[in-house]
Structure 1
Amino acid sequence: MVLVTGGTGLVGAHLLLHLVDNEDSVRAIYREAATIKKTKDLFELYQKENLFSKIHWVQADIIDVPSLEIAFQNVEYVYHCAAVISYDPKDESLLRKVNIEGTANIVNFCLEYNIKKLCHVSSIAALGDLASHEKEITEATEWNPEVLHSDYAISKYGAEMEIWRGQQEGLNVVVVNPGIILGPGFWGQGSGVFFSSIQKGFPFYTKGIKAYVGVTDVVKIMTRLLQSPIVGERFTIVAENLPFDKVIFEIADNLKAKKPKLEAKPWMLAIAWRLDWFFATFFRTKRKLSKYTATSLTTATFISNTKIKNALNFEFQSIDAVIKRIVILQEK
């Protein structure tokens, strides 16, 4: 039996589809029954709704220890995909609670139930920081606590510390650090906002360089790593490092939507995040642009995928092909 946490998110839902399509015995946890519909809709999007009933759903929460007792019964392998993704500074305590404490709970249960192997979905946000002489981030790049990090990045770094603690206590683990994950079915959240915003005519773009990967590649790598003898390793999962404007324009072309015409310069973003902070502080609006996010939008970051390509002899889909596939599926 395989247990999947976060099965109602982009990665978890695609992972469930991949697992049941390969006839694995799968259990997935959910917090609220309404969220399961997102996963069911994804199966329908791929025209594989007949497979959805093969998932054994259990109501549980990774920060609610008693609820996990049932979820771990007769489980041999675990994929830990559940996490909160937020760049709103107001969500700091939630991020730490779910991403760090929740991961600690999963590790503890894996140890208690003698789980054969745990695959943890981390993030490139938890990778290290380049020194002045370095040009490309790898799995071995050291984390610098003096560098500005988002609360999300800190929470994912803390979650990894729990994973390595589990390894030291005898748990077989493997960690994946995906870049910005692109995939269909979740246009209202995460990277799906790129598509929905451009479709609505969002006018701005930036020229920062970021790492991208298709969700199906992430899932394929996760399952291959779990089935492999590889343990105690982390892998960056990145298909391409691309300028943000190139990705945005490619999405617009495939959607047959207007391309954004206004470049958001660093000075504009500096004003924007301050205004965003002002309205959030005094009018209690939801933060849309933090200082960290504003800075990252114009920063060029290059992340290596050499280790995973060599370990699995893996070839990534191009991001152009990923975007085309997403749009075709969504427009069915």
Structure 2
Amino acid sequence: MKVLLTGATGLLGVHVAGELLRQGYDVKAVYRSFPRQMDKLPWFTEVEWVKAAITERADLEKAVDDCQAVIHAAARTDPYPTDLAAYYDVNVGSTERLLEIVRKKEGVRLVYVSTASVFRPGTLTNPATEESPYAFNLMASGYIASKYEAQQRIVSAVQQGVDAVVVNPTFMLGPYDFKPSSGAVIRYVLQNRAVFYPGGGGKSFVDVRDAARATVNALRMGRTGESYLLASENIPYDRFFPLLAQLSGRKKSLFRMPVPLIQMAGGLGSFGERVFRRGFPMNRINATLVTQENYYSGEKARSELKMPASPVSRAIEEAMQWFGA
């Protein structure tokens, strides 16, 4: 079976490509440009690379033509600006185009990579599940709003007969983060002796290779119309950043940033966005996201998609080695 993969140059996409090959699939991957040194990947030459724009229907039609399944992992993931319009064509429009193409081909399964953030997060004692309500209180984030809108397109398409499954990764860590994306937090700790981190909240983390395994397994094991949270360990920032410092093997000075101070900075950032009409890294919604509890359960994915539960510390260590710690 040949699988079309979008987003193949991103952190998850790189590992999905490798996992597809490991499981015996033929892989056709869409790319816009290659990050530096990506051609050093062990499996780079085993992939059929196709230069295409996911915003162009003709490009997608040509790419899907000889494929029997699609994994749609491409997305704009920047945490700012807050404007939904900045994300719409890439995150929602590309999904709509792929659904239109898949509808015309019989027997094609689509695995859509969404984000855990579309679900309202839970607490350490009661983490969110796939049955949790959507995070309508967080839709001020253009990224979250766009992924929610795209996921709803999938839900509607399934009701019309499309064979599609959704996976919702949490915060992924691991090697081969070329851009980098989530690995930026690891690089930040590696490159700075003084480390500032939020004085409240935490995240749900997952080894990107476990997330990739579950994503590929969804091709065979995922139930049509279902969503699967790809979550492993829920870790408060008070534990996570000291763990990063410890695993770096270097002396670090850790400073907890008071939550009210972060929220104040977020308010100023949102004011700056209105005045200067451009995105600011810290705005009101991002201040909320980095200081709240963002905890999810991956029990369903472990049960139905056979997602492994590797220690997040191992993913951190191997990411640090890859970044050159």
TM-score (norm 2): 0.89
The AA in structure 2 aligned to 1:40 is D
2:172 to 172, 181, 190: 181
Instruction: For 1:218 and 1:62, locate their aligned partners in 2 and report how far apart those are by CA, in whole Å.
Output: 23
Look up the SS of the partner of 1:78 in the other structure: strand
Question: Is the 1:6–1:81 Cα contact (8 Å) retained in structure 2?
Answer: yes
Question: Secondary structure at the residue paired with 1:304?
Answer: coil
> What's the secondary structure of 1:210's corresponding residue?
strand
2:207 paired with 1:214: yes
Aligned equivalents of 1:187, 1:252: Cα separation in 2: 22
User: Is residue 8 of structure 2 the alignment partner of residue 15 of structure 1?
Assistant: no
Matched with 1:231 is 224
Alignment of 1:57-206 (within 5 A): 57-89=49-81, 91-128=83-120, 135-143=126-134, 145=136, 149-186=140-177, 188-201=179-192, 202-206=194-198
Change (3 A) 1:215 1:205: same
Structure 1 Cα separation of the partners of residues 139 and 97 of structure 2: 28
Instruction: Please give the alpha-carbon distance, in whole angstroms, between the structure 2 residues aligned to 1:67 and 1:312.
Output: 31
1:19 deviates by 2.0
Shift of 1:157: 0.7
Q: State the Cα distance separating 1:86 from its structure 2 match.
A: 2.0
Alignment match, 1:308: 301
**Alignment-derived partner of residue 288 in structure 2:** 295
Between 1 and 2, higher relative CO (CA 8 Å, sep ≥ 6) is seen in 2
Shift of the alpha carbon at 1:188?
4.5
Q: Can you give the 5+ residue segments of structure 2 that lack an aligned partner in the other structure?
A: none
CA shift, 1:243, in A, is: 0.7
Superposition deviation, residue 38 in structure 1: 5.5
Aligned residues: 321
Q: What is the SS of the residue equivalent to 2:70?
A: strand
Matched, 1:253 2:252: no
Aligned-partner Cα distance in 1 for 2:184–2:135 = 30
